[in-house]
């Protein structure tokens, strides 16, 4: 079944992690997917990792989908404007789904440091990458959706509430996009367009696997380093849930709300690619997080 057949999606930050997995899930569900980000073959971003948006698009095509990789610096208004002009030209003005998964703050957060001792330049760069990029991208995507009277904007964050996340710049980055989704939903509702925010649990991304010195094949070896890692999930867990949510005929009722990978699993019967159904919400409540 291809519940998103005929839909046009754009995943901003589709290079790796949740962004790549979401692009794959939308492609498998039938959507034509534009994969954007700064890392392309032969020209990685300053994050310094090997994954590229080209590889993400190739993975979608290899699975029978349709995808395009478009290098875009989402901090650049000119880049983003040109991106959506291209989408509009190639898709006859159609854009059904935008996923804002741009982050780029992995090496910018200084944990265990009060905000006045945290590098100000790193902190402000983090805010630019995590908040400004989402605003710029949504600013140029929304008119395509409003014109057609339909569409969905998904914000990806860490956490589903407004609690402090241990580092002020990091916390502001992640909390802000929750309010961004709420605010966009309010503005877009009269036009038949929806916005919402979603979070994974303990994400077993490529970078997290590298951090623990394991691979997906032997990831459980890292539980000795961090017992909470036993409750981790692959990026595909959230991605599968979002693909199901995007195809939900009751999508309008979900606009403006926050969703979790484990909540989407409960609602749509989502199973992770390893056959597990981790529930970070239940685990966190049990542990008193």
Domains identified in the chain, total number: 1
Range of the domain at 78: 8-287
**Which residue in the list 164, 170, 237, 283 is annotated as catalytic?**
170
d(CA 138, CA 131) in angstroms, rounded, equals 11
Model confidence over 138-171: pLDDT tens digits? 999 999 999 999 999 999 999 999 999 999 999 9
Model confidence over 20-49: pLDDT tens digits? 999 999 999 999 999 999 989 888 888 888
- Which token pair is 195? 């916005």
Confidence of residue 184 (pLDDT cuts 50, 70, 90): very high
Is 152 inside any structural domain?
yes
Is 209 inside any structural domain?
yes
Confidence of residue 50 (pLDDT cuts 50, 70, 90): confident
CATH number at residue 72: 3.40.50.720
The pLDDT, as a whole number, for residue 1 is 81
Is 273 inside any structural domain?
yes
Is 235 inside any structural domain?
yes
Is 1 inside any structural domain?
no
Find out whether 189 and 144 touch, Cβ atoms under 8 Å.
Answer: no
The pLDDT, as a whole number, for residue 45 is 84
Is 2 inside any structural domain?
no
pTM of this structure? 0.96
- Give 45's contacts (C-beta < 8 A, 6+ positions apart): 15, 37, 38, 39, 104
Is 125 inside any structural domain?
yes
Our answer to whether residue 170 is catalytic in this structure is: yes
Q: 228 by DSSP, 3-state: which?
A: helix
Is 279 inside any structural domain?
yes
87: left (phi over 0), alpha (psi -120 to 50) or beta: alpha
In this prediction, residues 205-226 reach a mean pLDDT of: 96
Mean pLDDT for all residues in the chain: 97
């Amino acid at each position: 079944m291809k519940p998103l057949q005929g839909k046009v999606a754009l995943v901003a930050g589709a290079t790796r992690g949740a962004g790549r997995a979401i692009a794959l899930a939308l492609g498998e569900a039938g959507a034509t997917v534009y994969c954007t980000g700064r890392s392309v073959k032969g020209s990685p971003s300053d994050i310094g990792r090997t994954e590229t948006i080209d590889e993400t698009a190739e993975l979608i095509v290899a699975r029978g989908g349709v995808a395009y990789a478009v290098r875009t610096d989402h901090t650049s208004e000119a880049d983003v404007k040109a991106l959506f002009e291209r989408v509009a030209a190639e898709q006859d003005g159609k854009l059904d789904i935008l996923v804002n998964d741009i982050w780029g703050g992995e090496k910018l957060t200084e944990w265990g440091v009060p905000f006045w001792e945290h590098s100000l330049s790193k902190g402000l760069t983090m805010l630019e990458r995590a908040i400004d990029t989402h605003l710029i991208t949504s600013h140029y995507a929304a008119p395509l959706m409003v014109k057609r009277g339909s569409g969905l904007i998904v914000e990806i964050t860490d956490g589903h509430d407004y609690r402090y996340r241990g580092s002020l710049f990091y916390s502001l980055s992640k909390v802000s996009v929750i309010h961004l989704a709420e605010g966009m939903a309010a503005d877009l509702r009269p036009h038949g367009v929806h916005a919402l925010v979603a979070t994974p649990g303990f994400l077993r991304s490529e970078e997290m696997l590298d951090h623990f010195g394991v691979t997906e094949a032997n990831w459980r070896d890292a539980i000795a380093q961090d017992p909470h890692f036993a409750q981790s999930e692959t990026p595909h867990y959230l991605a599968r849930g979002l693909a199901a949510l995007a195809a939900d005929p009751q999508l309008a009722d979900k606009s403006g709300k926050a969703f979790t990978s484990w909540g989407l699993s409960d609602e749509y019967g989502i199973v992770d690619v390893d056959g597990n159904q981790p529930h970070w919400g239940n685990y966190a409540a049990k542990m008193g997080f």
